[in-house]
């Protein structure tokens, strides 16, 4: 029987460690690798130009790599549920492979495609390779609930089976039995579109600071490891002014799009560590970047409301303010705080900012100063940030706004002091906000405090050439810490005076079953609903009390 | 009946029964089984009341539409002692508002039953004004607890002062038995405080009025002088005076339990803060030995000069902005009653010495939180060792700890856990 295969690229835009592709080539007579471009998405304003460009560069790179294997990438416009029945018929497909997508909407979309496939008699091949582990197994290990703290997650990881080795890269040898039927008009029909074709204005667009693609990703991985080996230090690097700038060894966008396999990164790190540290066991902190990503994927996979506050079982209900004008100032880098504005400018121009910069702007928008919902910040990051996908972006925003995961909320990042400590000279500000270039280091973080002569000499008068600060940080943080305290005290039913004790300790991590011996997590047995469940039922109750759908008749006099 | 709380479920017999049991009951009626169509409406009122007390307001309201008896119970005064008015505008908040019809019903039927009332408003002036309107109508009531709470920006400050003050004094004058008042971030002024005192001096126990810029030290002094039952007071530092502390420590005054002081600066060039005499603090502690003094600081570094030069009886300390190493040194020297210390940010020099001194001298310290600071791992271990198991809250950001020759990050958590007597990890932030 002739086996005609489609491999469907979504994330996992690579030929190395691509288990689904690798397995589907076996005993396949023809193979077409496709990428489905949803035209509705292209028009949607919530994906910025940098993200589109990165994606298109990934697709170009894939296409180039496939060409070397006598194949091509097929870019198809349309929605998957429309596209597949057509392709199954036209190409006489009987096998479909893709990398497993753990996100709730991914699972929903794939369920629909599975149905179509089974109706058309198409065999499915799905492999896990976007995450280190099978996330369902982690959840199972935690009694059917996702872990709600990172510490808990780490404890579970210690009990999981070791990470599977990356699968071998696709080579011409492997592909030799497989034909890729390419027509002469392939480029017209199935070629990778350009930014202009998608409707973007590219006049004045600077070169990408983060070029997309698997080739670039693998090169960066090598450089990243070289640098680590040279430093021979695997501790978390202390933050300095240079860390703020885009690094040629940065890997996060490549992990997000799947140009780089997380498993490959994992094993390369392990090998390097063992070599440099003479075979001692690597600590979990070595994989910090990968494990945080994994943690958020795990918490999100069974929660379609993960990116919202309303109806989200893991999210604290906080009475955020609705203020479109304030939000716009933040998003567009016009807050009047150079540190915040420079970060948002870098984000918009380049698509990446350092994680501490993310903390600073997220804190400023939410619990620190503006008291605006984290959902708004998440949407802005979704548009601009190259490495933000649904799970990680939502999870991080909830974390940074202290809306979940049992975070202490006392530490507020000062929009003046934090930047000043990181980069005392202010070079970062000068680079991204050239209007402030002539300010001396003393005043560059709080130019509104500079005497008139200094402002005039710098040819930038505050209020005229650069906005005045949009809030009084001391006043705003005073009010906000009080708000957070009120909310948390209500949740934890804590009536004492301590600030730290207001945050409930998540003893049971949302499950009543404990991990066996030596898990490194304290667990106290208790009966009755866990603290977490009580927390959520209190929240639910409050929410219901303010509901009044259809209940207006109740309030009227019944006599 | 849906949504009976889980604790109730375990204590009372459930009304929902398994199909088998239901069939049995149908065939063999016994005194516990409700006869079809008869018993529900005839449940004794006190039983219905008990059940209603476990229901949410929405469910109670729905239940009240079922029959006259249940409707009567719904309007029992006991169910209307406590109410929280939530006033939000869709343009400025994600939260729903208490239905205006319900508000009207309460004012009409239940104003006189209300004893514990709070208003939660969003950042819109309209919401705060609505709260004032309701307040003005609470004429025939004996309110004991009143709370005006802004959930976002302090919108009460945007209401005209005259409107606010007149609404507030309606309650002050009419209730005559106010014991607890929370009016932080409002335009309350000295004359309204006089009215409060004139009518409620015997009953007032708690007054929270942080960030009320229209009140003067004389205004609050009037409260301290007359309200001898005052146990809890929250205000801004500019209202704190030696006279106030002495007034709170006179023989006639009960023991003060809780004094909360917010120290906020408007801008770095404002005039320096006044100092409180050591003798005034001593008088306070002498009179109320168990008093908790909570201080929240939101100052620029250079503004801390007047503080902690001498012994200060503060128990809970929060620094919302950068605080200098020198200041933390002073705290170890002069804040011997310290129970909780939370530092948002310090700087780039290790705080080992200062922390160790605090461990040595602040023997009551049970909680510490450090944000952007630096402490060497050895210094930190030393600190924890000295405090031992009395540290029930230890919240240290991961970036604070600097690995040194004795400890790296992996070892720190087991060392610290050892001395604390429980598993401990530093606080982490996502890195990706």
A34-53 exposure pattern, b = at least 16 Cβ within 10 A, e = fewer = bbbbeeeeeeeeeebbbbbb
Q: State the Cα torsion B224-B225-B231-B236 to the nearest 10°.
A: 10
Three-class SS state of A258: coil
Name the nearest CA neighbour of B85 among B125, B43, B116, B49. B116
CA distance A26 to chain B (A): 36
Q: Would you say A91 is a known binding-site residue?
A: no
Integer Cα distance of B102 and B108 in angstroms: 10
Q: Would you say A389 is a known binding-site residue?
A: yes
Query: Could you write out the three-class secondary structure of A8-19?
Result: EECCCCCCCCCH
Mean pLDDT by 10 residues, chain B (432 residues): 41 46 52 60 83 84 85 86 91 86 88 92 94 92 92 93 95 92 96 94 95 94 95 95 95 95 81 91 96 94 91 95 92 95 90 95 95 92 94 91 85 90 88 76
Which residues are CB-contacts of A348 (< 8 A; sequence separation ≥ 6)?
Answer: A48, A332, A333, A384
Looking at residue A235, its pLDDT comes to: 67
Burial of A32 (0-12, 13-18, 19+ CB in 10 A): buried
Residue among B153, B321, B367 whose CB faces A414 most closely: B321
Q: State the Cα torsion A417-B395-B330-B279 to the nearest 10°.
A: 120
Q: Would you say A321 is a known binding-site residue?
A: no
Query: Could you write out the three-class secondary structure of chain B?
Result: CCCCCHHHHHHCCCCCCCHHHHHHHHHCCCCCCCCCCCCHHHCCHHHHHHHHCCCCHHHHHHHHCCCHHHHHHHCCHHHHCEEEEEECCCCCECCCCCCHHHHHHHHHHHCCCCCEEEEEECCCHHHHHHHHHHHHHCCCCCCCEEEEEECCCCHHHHCCHHHHHHHHHHHHHHHCCCCEEECCCCCCCHHHHHHHHHHHCCCCCEEECCCCCCCCHHHHHHHHHHCCCCCEEEEEHHHCCHHHHHHCCCCCCCCCCEEEEEEECCCCCCCCCCCCCHHHHHHHHHHCCCCEEEEEEECCHHHHCCCCCCCCCCCEEEEEEECCHHHHHHHHHHCCCCCEEEEEECCCCCCHHHHHHHHHHCCCCCEEEEEECCEEHHHHHHHHHHHHHHCCEEEEEHHHEECCCCCCHHHHHHHHHHHHCCCCCCECCCCC
Cβ pair A411:B432 closer than 8 A: no
Q: State the Cα torsion B273-B279-B280-B282 to the nearest 10°.
A: 120
Integer Cα distance of A102 and A94 in angstroms: 24
Name the nearest CA neighbour of A238 among B398, B413, B351. B398
- The answer to whether A83 touches A110, Cβ cutoff 8 Å, is no
A243-273 exposure pattern, b = at least 16 Cβ within 10 A, e = fewer = bbbebeebbbbbbbbbbbbbbbbbbbbeebb
Name the nearest CA neighbour of A132 among A307, A369, A296. A296
Name the nearest CA neighbour of A155 among A434, A530, A438, A521. A521
Cβ pair A323:B92 closer than 8 A: yes
A517-538 exposure pattern, b = at least 16 Cβ within 10 A, e = fewer = eebbbebeeeeebbbbebbbee
Looking at residue A549, its pLDDT comes to: 35
Integer Cα distance of A353 and A350 in angstroms: 8
Integer Cα distance of A153 and A133 in angstroms: 12
Name the nearest CA neighbour of A276 among A284, A268, A287. A268
Q: Would you say A292 is a known binding-site residue?
A: yes
Q: What is the DSSP letter of A4?
A: E
Integer Cα distance of A369 and A412 in angstroms: 9
Residue among B211, B322, B340 whose CB faces A499 most closely: B340
State pLDDT tens for residues A235-258.
Answer: 666 778 888 999 999 999 999 999
Tell me the chain A residues in contact with residue B96 when contact means C-beta distances shorter than 8 Å.
Answer: 546-548
Residue among A387, A407, A477 whose CB faces B320 most closely: A477
Q: What is the reported pTM?
A: 0.87
Burial of B289 (0-12, 13-18, 19+ CB in 10 A): exposed
What is the number of residues in chain B?
432
Phi (first) and psi of residue A5, to 5 degrees:
-115, 145
Integer Cα distance of B285 and B291 in angstroms: 7
Q: Would you say A387 is a known binding-site residue?
A: yes
Integer Cα distance of A47 and B62 in angstroms: 45
Mutation target vs B (from A254, A548, A553, A559; most B CBs, 10 A cutoff): A548
Name the nearest CA neighbour of A159 among A488, A490, A520. A520
| CA pseudo-torsion sign A255, A258, A259, A265 | positive
Cβ pair A396:B430 closer than 8 A: yes
- The answer to whether B365 touches B338, Cβ cutoff 8 Å, is yes
Looking at residue B72, its pLDDT comes to: 86
Cβ pair A285:B410 closer than 8 A: yes
Mutation target vs B (from A233, A277, A474; most B CBs, 10 A cutoff): A474
Looking at residue A299, its pLDDT comes to: 95
Three-class SS state of A75: strand
Three-class SS state of A98: strand
Phi (first) and psi of residue A413, to 5 degrees:
-80, 120
Tell me the chain B residues in contact with residue A400 when contact means C-beta distances shorter than 8 Å.
Answer: 429-430
Segments of chain A with pLDDT less than 70: 39-45, 231-237, 279, 506-559
Integer Cα distance of B354 and A217 in angstroms: 46
Integer Cα distance of B429 and B205 in angstroms: 41
Integer Cα distance of A459 and A446 in angstroms: 16
Query: In whole angstroms, how large is the CA radius of gyration of chain A?
Result: 26
What is the number of residues in chain A?
559
Q: What share of chain A is helix, strand, coil (3-state, %, to 5)?
A: 45, 5, 45
> How many A×B Cβ pairs under 8 Å?
213
Cβ pair A474:B428 closer than 8 A: no
Cβ pair A500:B296 closer than 8 A: no
State pLDDT tens for residues A96-146.
Answer: 999 999 999 999 999 999 999 999 999 999 999 999 999 999 999 999 999
Integer Cα distance of B420 and A267 in angstroms: 36
Looking at residue B145, its pLDDT comes to: 95
Looking at residue A558, its pLDDT comes to: 37
Integer Cα distance of B245 and B284 in angstroms: 6
Which residues are CB-contacts of B21 (< 8 A; sequence separation ≥ 6)?
Answer: none
Integer Cα distance of B116 and A428 in angstroms: 53
Query: In whole angstroms, how large is the CA radius of gyration of chain B?
Result: 27
Mutation target vs B (from A284, A499, A522; most B CBs, 10 A cutoff): A499
Query: Could you write out the three-class secondary structure of A297-359?
Result: HHHHCCCCCCCCCCCCCCCCCCCCECCHHHHHHHHCCCCCCHHHHHHHHHHHHHCCCCHHHHH
Cβ pair A371:B153 closer than 8 A: yes
Tokens of B2: 């849906």
Q: What angle separates helix A262-276 from helix A214-231, to the nearest 10 degrees?
A: 20
Tokens of A173: 């040898």
CA distance A529 to chain B (A): 8
Phi (first) and psi of residue A476, to 5 degrees:
-65, -45
Cβ pair A555:B102 closer than 8 A: yes
Cβ pair B95:A407 closer than 8 A: no
Tell me the chain B residues in contact with residue A412 when contact means C-beta distances shorter than 8 Å.
Answer: 320, 344, 371
Residue of A nearest to B101 (CA): A555
Task: Please report, for residues A511, A546, B89, the alpha-carbon distance to residue A552 in angstroms, rounded to integers and kept in the order given.
Answer: 38, 12, 18
Mutation target vs B (from A296, A402, A498, A534; most B CBs, 10 A cutoff): A498
Q: Name B119's bridge partners.
A: B85, B148
- The answer to whether A499 touches A409, Cβ cutoff 8 Å, is no
Cβ pair B367:A501 closer than 8 A: yes
């Amino acid at each position: 029987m002739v086996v005609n295969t489609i491999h469907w690229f979504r994330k996992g835009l690579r030929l190395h460690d691509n288990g689904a592709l690798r397995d589907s080539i076996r005993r396949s007579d023809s193979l077409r690798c496709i990428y489905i471009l949803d035209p509705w998405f292209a028009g949607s304003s919530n994906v910025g130009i940098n993200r589109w460009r990165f994606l298109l560069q990934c697709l170009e790179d894939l296409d180039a790599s496939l060409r070397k294997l006598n194949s091509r990438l097929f870019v198809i416009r349309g929605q998957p549920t429309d596209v597949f029945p057509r392709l199954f018929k036209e190409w006489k497909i009987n096998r479909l492979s893709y990398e497993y997508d753990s996100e709730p909407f991914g699972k929903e979309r794939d369920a629909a495609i599975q149905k179509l496939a089974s109706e058309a008699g198409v065999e499915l091949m799905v492999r896990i390779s976007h995450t280190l582990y099978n996330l369902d197994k982690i959840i199972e290990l935690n009694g059917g609930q996702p872990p709600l703290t990172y510490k808990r997650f780490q404890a579970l990881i210690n009990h999981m089976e070791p990470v599977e080795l990356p699968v071998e890269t696709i080579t011409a040898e492997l592909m030799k039995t497989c034909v890729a039927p390419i027509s002469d008009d392939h480029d017209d029909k199935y070629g990778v579109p350009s930014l202009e074709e998608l409707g973007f204005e590219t006049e004045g667009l600077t070169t990408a600071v983060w070029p997309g693609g698997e080739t670039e990703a693998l090169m960066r991985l090598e450089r990243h490891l070289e640098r680590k080996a040279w430093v021979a230090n695997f501790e978390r690097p202390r933050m300095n002014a240079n860390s703020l700038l885009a690094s040629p060894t940065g890997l996060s966008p490549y992990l997000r799009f799947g140009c780089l396999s997380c498993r490959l990164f994992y094993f390369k790190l392990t090998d390097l560590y063992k070599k440099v540290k003479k075979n001692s066991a690597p600590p979990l902190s070595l994989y910090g970047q990968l494990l945080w990503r994994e943690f958020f994927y795990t918490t999100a996979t069974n929660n379609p409301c993960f990116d919202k506050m309303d109806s989200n079982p893991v999210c604290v209900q906080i009475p955020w303010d609705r203020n479109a004008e304030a939000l716009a100032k933040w998003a567009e880098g016009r807050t009047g705080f150079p540190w915040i504005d420079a970060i948002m400018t870098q984000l918009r121009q380049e698509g990446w900012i350092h994680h501490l910069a993310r903390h600073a702007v997220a804190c400023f928008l939410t619990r620190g100063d503006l008291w605006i919902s984290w959902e708004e910040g998440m949407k802005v990051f979704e548009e601009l940030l190259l490495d933000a996908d649904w799970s990680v972006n939502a999870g991080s925003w909830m974390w940074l706004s202290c809306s979940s995961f049992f975070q202490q909320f006392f530490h507020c990042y000062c929009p003046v002091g934090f930047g000043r400590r990181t980069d005392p000279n202010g070079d970062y500000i000068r680079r991204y906000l050239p209007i402030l270039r002539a300010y001396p280091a003393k005043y560059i973080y709080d130019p509104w405090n500079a005497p008139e002569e200094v402002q005039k000499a710098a040819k930038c008068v505050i209020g005229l050439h650069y906005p005045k600060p949009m809030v009084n940080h001391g006043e705003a943080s005073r009010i906000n810490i009080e708000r957070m305290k009120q909310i948390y005290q209500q949740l934890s039913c804590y009536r004492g005076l301590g600030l730290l004790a207001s945050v409930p300790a998540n003893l049971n991590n949302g499950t009543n079953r404990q991990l066996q011996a030596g898990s490194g997590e304290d667990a106290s047995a208790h009966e009755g609903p866990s603290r977490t469940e009580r927390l959520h039922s209190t929240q639910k109750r409050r929410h219901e009390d303010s509901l009044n759908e259809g209940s207006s008749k109740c309030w009227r006099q019944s006599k | 009946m849906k949504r009976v709380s889980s604790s109730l479920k375990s204590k009372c017999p459930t009304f929902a029964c398994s199909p088998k049991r239901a069939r049995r009951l149908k065939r063999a009626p016994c005194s516990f089984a409700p006869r079809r169509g008869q018993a529900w409406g005839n449940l004794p009122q006190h039983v219905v009341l008990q059940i209603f007390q476990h229901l949410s307001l929405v469910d109670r309201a729905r239940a009240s539409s079922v029959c006259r008896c249940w409707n009567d119970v719904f309007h029992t005064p006991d169910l209307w002692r406590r109410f929280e008015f939530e006033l939000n505008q869709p343009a400025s908040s994600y939260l729903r508002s208490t239905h205006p019809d319900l508000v009207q019903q309460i004012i009409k039927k239940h104003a006189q039953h209300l004893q514990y009332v709070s208003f939660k408003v969003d950042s819109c002036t309209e919401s705060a004004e609505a709260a004032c309107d309701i307040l003005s109508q609470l004429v025939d009531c004996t309110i004991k607890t009143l709370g005006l709470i802004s959930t976002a920006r302090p919108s009460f400050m945007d209401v005209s002062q005259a409107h606010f003050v007149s609404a507030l004094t309606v309650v002050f004058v009419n209730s005559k038995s106010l014991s607890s008042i929370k009016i932080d971030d409002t335009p309350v002024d000295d004359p309204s405080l006089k009215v409060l005192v004139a009518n409620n001096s015997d009953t007032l126990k708690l007054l929270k009025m942080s960030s009320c810029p229209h009140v003067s030290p004389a205004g609050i002094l009037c409260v301290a002088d007359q309200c001898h039952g005052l146990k809890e007071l929250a205000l801004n530092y500019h209202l704190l005076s030696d006279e106030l502390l002495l007034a709170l420590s006179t023989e006639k005054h009960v023991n003060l339990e809780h004094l909360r002081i917010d120290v906020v600066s408007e801008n770095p060039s404002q005039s320096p803060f006044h100092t409180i005499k050591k003798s005034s603090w001593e008088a306070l502690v002498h009179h109320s030995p168990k008093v908790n003094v909570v201080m929240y600081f939101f100052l620029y570094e250079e503004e801390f000069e007047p503080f902690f030069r001498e012994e200060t009886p503060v128990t809970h300390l929060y620094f919302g902005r950068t605080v200098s190493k020198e200041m933390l040194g002073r705290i170890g020297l002069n804040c011997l009653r310290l129970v909780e210390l939370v530092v948002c940010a310090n700087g780039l020099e290790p705080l080992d010495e200062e922390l160790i001194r605090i461990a040595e001298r602040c023997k009551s310290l049970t909680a510490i939180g450090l944000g952007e600071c630096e402490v060497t791992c050895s210094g930190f271990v030393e600190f924890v060792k000295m405090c031992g198991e009395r540290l029930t809250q230890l919240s240290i950001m991961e970036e604070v700890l600097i690995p040194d020759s004795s400890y790296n990050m992996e070892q720190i958590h087991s060392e610290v856990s050892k001395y604390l007597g429980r598993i401990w990890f530093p606080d982490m932030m996502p890195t990706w």
